Amino acid sequence: MYIELHARSAFSFLEGASSPEEMARSCAEFGMPSMALLDRDGLYGAPQFYLAANKIGVRAHIGAEVTCVQGWRYPLLVTSHEGYKNLCRLITHMKLRAAKGAGAIEVREWEGVSHGLICLTGGDEGPLAHALRNGGREAARKVIEQLCGIFGRNNVYVELQRHFSVQEERRNQVAIEIARNLHLPLLATNGVTHASPAQREILDVFTCLRHHRVLANAGRLLSCNSERYLKSPAQMAALFADLPEAIASTAELASRLQFTLKDLGYKFPTYPTPNNQSQMEYLRQRALEGMVHRYGTQNERAHLQIQRELSVIEKLDLPGYFLIVWDIIRFCREKNILVQGRGSAANSAVCYSLGITAVDPVGMNLLFERFLSEERGEWPDIDLDLPSGDQRERVIQYVYERYGKLGAAMTANVITYRGKSAAREIGKVLSFGQETLDRLASLVSAWEYTDSNDTLTRQFRDAGLDLANHRISKFFELCQKVQNLPRHLGQHSGGMVVCQGQLDSVVPLEPATMPGRVVVQWDKEDCADMGIIKIDLLGLGMMAVLEDSLKLIRAHNKVEIDLGHLPQDDPAVYSALQHADTIGLFQVESRAQMSCLPRLKPKCFYDIVVQVAIIRPGPIVGKMVHPYLNRRQGREVAESLHPSLESTLSRTLGVPLFQEQLLRMAMIAAGFSGGEAEELRRAFGFKRSEARMKDIEIKLRRGMESKGVTGETQNKIVQAITSFALYGFPESHAASFALIAYASAFLKCHYLAVFTTAMLNNQPMGFYQPATLIKDAQRHGQKFKPIDITCSQWECTIGESSENFPVRIGLRYVKGLHKETALQILTQRSIQPFASIEDLKQRVPQLQKDEMRVLAAIGALNFISNKTHIHRRSALWQVERAARPAGELFAEHLRNENSGPASRFLPSDPMNLTPMNNEERLVADFNGTGLTVGHHPMAQHRAELNRSGVSPASRLAALRDGAFVRVAGGVIVRQRPGTAKGFVFLSLEDETGIANIIIQPQLFEKDHTTVVHNSFLLIEGILQNQDGVISVKAGIIKPFHLIKAAAPAHNFH
């Protein structure tokens, strides 16, 4: 029996052309009982290989090819857990001391770390071939003796590969001779780099990418034939018919490879408790303390729930995990870092009591099993939302410090070949010219999700590309084949793994691109599959806004706000929500949310939870939105899909809106167990597999039939489940988000200056541009002050006025102004105010000419001299003067003048420059900052607009449904959601508010250029006023040319 013991997968990054799953599948097809995967300098593909192989009954041997500084690679196989640890540590060691993507070991470094490893002499890149090429037979013999010295004579196998190459056969003859002389066993392998012969083409493409060549000039860098595919035992036996012992050795060696990834040796860290208390006892105490804080002492239901949860936690031996998350929360609280758990953790009363989450699962009757169940035997998943930016980084660094550099790491994110990037790279390798490449890349999105060849042929032909052309069709074929193969390793945005002891003996670590960060070689899914616990530390812009808001309120309003104890039923909040006055609010500010709010009319917190969850692709595709809203308005009877589902669906009026409901529906209607229901969710979840989904659907239907749920009801239930398993929110998650949404609404309603300032200081985030946020705040009565170099800070700040706290725009909004330069301006200003523009330039020499021009153009330099106020053009004049180098002749003179006021510092204002008019100031504001605190661009044309019958946005609500209207404004959002059948939604802003425009697909097609390329539009159409949701169905679209200023719009497609 032959067993392949030297194979590389695509996780050797550009040196292998098949996924580990494909390898395992081919292996099983040949009836090979086991196989070894040896990827280059890592165990990147090991988990996927292990899991895939395990599933189909193949034993996955683990190993790697490790690069040595002399240039060859040691093919290593792991025999024992000790060997695995050694290999992981060795790879970590060599990776962490080198730049990302590099690293090699020295021969001397093998001392003490070679136990449990078997070394092969390798193929073309192995030590034997290397020595033979460079020093001949004698050197080859020496190197093998050296390997015997390192790994032990019993742990070295002389490898033979046969790919029908003369040079290789010559090497084999030498290898056989040396093996016989040294009494070492021969081992046949095929040095596999792809699963099937056809994948050699991918390998050649990868070779070109690795060497920055194209196929036409890669020459002998490419494979000489297609023989490095996974061959069957019969093929290999025939190849080595003259050396049967080399084949026999494979089975013998495989039997020595006892290690599998099942014995990973991962342990979650033990939390150090005081006084030798057990972790469980310590957790129990913390949870009960928290319970008193959260629920008081009289809440029996909560007490029972917490006890129940604690017993599950104890049974699953998870107290350490909860304590470690609690520890992170404690750190955040100590450092005043806002933190909130999201996701299914919000279903747990223990998490609530520990302060990990902020949603009361007992009060909201949430399903604990969605988070943790004995049956599933899975690790819980807790995601923590943190303020994005520096604060999140502080928490990450705390985890590194707490568990040591080698005890914690970020999970990797495997970047795969997809879409346009794949098309471009393959196109380049095939030597397509730029023009052809552009055309091919533009087609990618068109053919990525289609499988109809007819359509494809037509699309290619329309683009002037003939699929009958050999290279075009090759391109297409290669693009398909390369999809989803790994390209390189990135860093996951927030996933961290921690380990008891040394994480580097569990999985190799390597440096991330970001300094101070270490990543594991496995992505987050692989980590989860291998039982490594991950904590997601996610950055959320709104958390940063809330945190900043609290600080500002403390400083300016002298009030301490506790987000955990906000008034529950604040009328201002609900009024704003009901009127869709939600610009800037978390999760409820999008156009779709705004058009739903007046119909849903939230009256209590749970309504916000529903509101957050309902505008998601799941409920929209599953056609849940309208039935829910109709039932809420009493237009439809609130009945469940099936009487048995009444208890599950009653609180959402018979319409399933949350993931938990989907699980319960499957459990009730189809008799699924909790674990099966979770399996269903995963099948329809992120990593969708057609076959898996089909299987589950069959099971679901069968289950329902056995329970008597048939016909249309069955179809409806299946549609509900399948459509939003992926894109629906869990109720607990929606509740967590709803809390943040409520908090943001509360702050906006009661502390508008603070909230707007915090929003402006945390851009980019959310749905709207700063210009829109400012205009919205102005409509709510907020005053703003423009950027002024004499008083603006880097961030936006709140003025000390007792009346309404005007917001001063910060220097961060000056386009092109570097932060370091701005900070230098502030430093110099604090020492002594600037006397003039020339003085500014002298004291802040790094200030560039363009930066000064922008400052002058936006009026930031108007008050620089405390003696006189200059206008923007005057400042621009002086900037040109100040920014010109004085030249050698005057430099000395100027240096002398620096000690005191000089004539050159005095403004020289040519009185002939005309000050900017309103329009020009507006244009300069938008060009220089992307916003204006002055009048809205539309305001100065209002009289003219009134004459031509254009209604201001604020008047639309007063007009009758079906009226013909004419509106005009700046486009702030363009949207064409995938779920809207080609309809386009525009938000048109004028000085009074926002008009929502609906454009039908045909009209959009006709006026595409006008809609997409104009900042201001004039639209005529029919007003729709349905349940307080106001929109204009566009009939005629024209560009509005009166205004030159262009506020940037957010485009969502």
Angstrom distances, CA of residue 1042 to CA of 643, 799, 943, 1014, 1038: 61, 35, 13, 12, 12
CB distance 417 to 202 below 8 Å: no
Q: Which residues of 45-80 are buried (b: 16+ CB within 10 A; e: fewer)?
A: bbbbbbbbbeeeebbbbbbbbbbbeeebbbbbbbbb
- Euclidean distance between CA atoms 864 and 878, whole angstroms: 11
CB distance 518 to 760 below 8 Å: no
CB-wise, 497 or 860, nearer to another protein?
860
Q: Least Å distance between CB 751 and another protein?
A: 39
HSE of 914 in the Cβ direction (CA atoms, 13 Å)?
5
CB distance 161 to 44 below 8 Å: no
DSSP-assigned letter for residue 7: B
HSE of 218 in the Cβ direction (CA atoms, 13 Å)?
21
CB-wise, 916 or 980, nearer to another protein?
916
Q: Least Å distance between CB 32 and another protein?
A: 23
Give the DSSP H/E element, type plus range, for residue 748. helix 731-750
CB-wise, 149 or 433, nearer to another protein?
433
Q: What angle do CA 677, 680, 685 make, to 5 degrees?
A: 130
Angstrom distances, CA of residue 638 to CA of 634, 644, 649, 651, 661: 8, 14, 10, 10, 16
Q: Least Å distance between CB 1010 and another protein?
A: 11
Own/partner pairs for 472-479, CB < 8 Å, 24+ apart?
A: 472/440, 474/201, 474/430, 475/423, 475/426, 475/427, 475/430, 475/432, 475/440, 476/447, 478/201, 478/202, 478/205, 478/426, 478/430, 479/422, 479/423, 479/426, 479/444
CB-wise, 383 or 425, nearer to another protein?
425
Q: Least Å distance between CB 318 and another protein?
A: 54
CB-wise, 176 or 222, nearer to another protein?
222
- Euclidean distance between CA atoms 299 and 307, whole angstroms: 12
Q: What angle do CA 835, 838, 843 make, to 5 degrees?
A: 80
DSSP-assigned letter for residue 432: -
**DSSP β-bridge partners for residue 1051:** 974
Beginning with the edge strand found earlier in the chain, give each strand of the sheet holding 340-342 in spatial order. Answer: 340-342, 382-387, 534-540, 486-498, 408-416, 518-523, 509-511
Q: Least Å distance between CB 817 and another protein?
A: 17
- Euclidean distance between CA atoms 709 and 717, whole angstroms: 9
Beginning with the edge strand found earlier in the chain, give each strand of the sheet holding 797-798 in spatial order. Answer: 784-785, 807-808, 797-798
Cβ count within 10 A of residue 325: 21
CB-wise, 29 or 169, nearer to another protein?
169
Binding site for another protein (CB under 8 A): 163-166, 200-201, 204, 215, 217, 219-220, 222, 224-227, 430-433, 435-436, 439, 469-471, 474, 853, 857, 873, 876-877, 880-881, 884, 908, 910, 912-914, 916, 920, 1009
CB-wise, 471 or 488, nearer to another protein?
471
**SS3 sequence of 12-68:** HCCCCCCCHHHHHHHHHHCCCCEEEEEEECCCCCHHHHHHHHHHCCCEEEEEEEEEE
CA nearest neighbour of 534 among 543, 546, 525, 542:
525
HSE of 888 in the Cβ direction (CA atoms, 13 Å)?
0
Q: Least Å distance between CB 219 and another protein?
A: 3
Question: Phi/psi zone of residue 297: left (φ > 0), alpha (ψ -120 to 50 degrees), beta?
Answer: alpha
Could you write out the DSSP letters of every residue in 847-913? --HHHHHHHHHTTTTTTSSSS----HHHHHHHHHHHHS---HHHHHHHHHHTTS--GGGS----TTS
**DSSP β-bridge partners for residue 995:** 988
- Euclidean distance between CA atoms 778 and 13, whole angstroms: 54
Torsion of CA 972, 978, 982, 984, to 10 degrees: -10
Q: Least Å distance between CB 915 and another protein?
A: 8
SS3 of residue 292 by DSSP: helix
CB-wise, 163 or 664, nearer to another protein?
163
CB-wise, 469 or 801, nearer to another protein?
469
CB-wise, 198 or 555, nearer to another protein?
198
Q: Least Å distance between CB 908 and another protein?
A: 6
Q: Least Å distance between CB 884 and another protein?
A: 6
CB-wise, 52 or 1037, nearer to another protein?
1037
CB distance 157 to 187 below 8 Å: yes
CB-wise, 217 or 277, nearer to another protein?
217
Q: Least Å distance between CB 201 and another protein?
A: 6
Q: Least Å distance between CB 874 and another protein?
A: 9
CB-wise, 769 or 865, nearer to another protein?
865
CB-wise, 838 or 990, nearer to another protein?
838
CB-wise, 176 or 826, nearer to another protein?
176
CB distance 147 to 139 below 8 Å: no
CB-wise, 150 or 916, nearer to another protein?
916
CB-wise, 78 or 1017, nearer to another protein?
1017
The token pair at 493 is 């945005």
CB-wise, 329 or 864, nearer to another protein?
864
